[in-house]
């Protein structure tokens, strides 16, 4: 039996004994991360603490991460990924353990925090001219992979050359790939277009 299934059984057994508030008919119960447990009902996720108290109520914007125990939202460094759609394009941000948005959804892709840092795709807008007929500026968009801290402040750019993107749901049907990963507290591995890796030190 998989660990996630064992944890689900154990959790439901504990609630039936009255050691936590009754939480019934959930579809998934995750392992604990930073004293928080994700539970799923339908297409919504919530978080409970180690006593079974609901800390973050059911909502649809929590982002599930792929783990060895299944796909579910989780907290790392006190932050959990959220997503919000604007003009049918997904943007990513973070909430704290109370469910409050601490970094607004603004990135085209993002990782969970690790060592109090996260890797995100920062979108940059550049105005190039004015459309006289439509009475609005014409702009181009690029993104850069960067490292941010817990407040969302930029720590470092991982690639200085921008990647152009057409900001339309016809082209951005899913988030751009993020072929970047932490390999230590201070090192990040970045894959280039030739599928070669570079190792970058994060100050």
Domain borders along the chain are 1-74, 111-203
pLDDT at 19: 45
Confidence of residue 23 (pLDDT cuts 50, 70, 90): confident
CB atoms within 10 A of CB 137: 12
Q: Are 36 and 27 in contact (CB under 8 A)?
A: no
Q: Which of 54-58, 149-153, 190-194 has the lowest mean pLDDT?
A: 190-194
Note the pLDDT of residue 193. Answer: 82
Q: What is the pLDDT of residue 127?
A: 84
Q: What sign does the dihedral 6-7-11-17 (CA atoms) show? A: positive
| Rounded-to-integer distance, Cα 65 and Cα 74, Å | 7
Summarize pLDDT for 59-109 with one digit per residue, the tens. Answer: 999 999 999 999 999 999 999 999 999 999 999 999 999 999 999 999 999
Quote the percentage of the chain above a pLDDT of 90: 77
Q: For residue 13, is pLDDT > 50?
A: no
């Amino acid at each position: 039996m998989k660990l996630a299934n064992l944890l689900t059984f154990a959790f439901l057994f504990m609630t039936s004994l009255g050691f936590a508030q009754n939480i019934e008919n959930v579809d998934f119960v995750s392992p604990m991360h930073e004293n928080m447990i994700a539970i799923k009902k339908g297409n919504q996720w919530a978080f409970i603490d180690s006593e079974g108290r609901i800390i973050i109520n059911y909502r649809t914007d929590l982002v599930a991460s792929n783990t060895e125990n299944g796909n579910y939202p989780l907290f790392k460094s006190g932050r959990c990924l959220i997503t919000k759609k604007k003009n049918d394009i997904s943007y990513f941000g973070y909430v704290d353990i109370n469910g409050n948005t601490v970094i607004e959804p603004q990135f085209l892709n993002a990782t969970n925090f690790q060592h109090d840092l996260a890797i995100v795709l920062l979108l940059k807008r550049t105005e190039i001219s004015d459309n006289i007929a439509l009475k609005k500026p014409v702009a181009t968009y690029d993104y850069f992979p960067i490292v941010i801290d817990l407040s969302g402040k930029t720590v470092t750019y991982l690639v200085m050359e921008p990647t152009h993107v057409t900001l339309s749901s016809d082209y951005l049907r899913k988030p751009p790939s993020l072929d970047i990963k932490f390999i230590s507290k201070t090192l990040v591995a970045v894959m280039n277009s030739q599928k070669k890796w570079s190792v970058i030190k994060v100050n």
